[in-house]
Amino acid sequence: MGIFFFYMFVASATPLFLWLEHHKIAVASIPGIFLMWILGSIYIISPSIWIEATFIVTFAVNVMLAHYAAIVLYGMPLFKQKRLLRNSKRLV
């Protein structure tokens, strides 16, 4: 559960990184983060297989969203830069 708890903090910070450039993705991730924290808290208080399964699903969705955010923020500018360099060599 420690890994889940650590990554819950990382996933909770994802909207902060996205706020300026991709406001819609940041706003879309907020309800999932609240749900993840609520289900995690309920599971800690009274463990149940259904709460755990629902928590893991919301956790996985938030992990995928955080990775998508990392690709959008850090990968896309790199891909665009490489594409521009490749296209400029073709013109010469």
pLDDT class of 1 with cuts at 50, 70, 90: low
Give the DSSP letter of residue 19: T
Counting every residue written for the chain, the total comes to: 92
pLDDT class of 85 with cuts at 50, 70, 90: confident
Dihedral of CA 16/17/23/28: which sign? negative
pLDDT class of 23 with cuts at 50, 70, 90: confident
Nearest in space to 61 (alpha carbons), one of 89, 33, 20? 33
pLDDT class of 71 with cuts at 50, 70, 90: confident
Whether 49 has a pLDDT exceeding 80, the answer reads yes
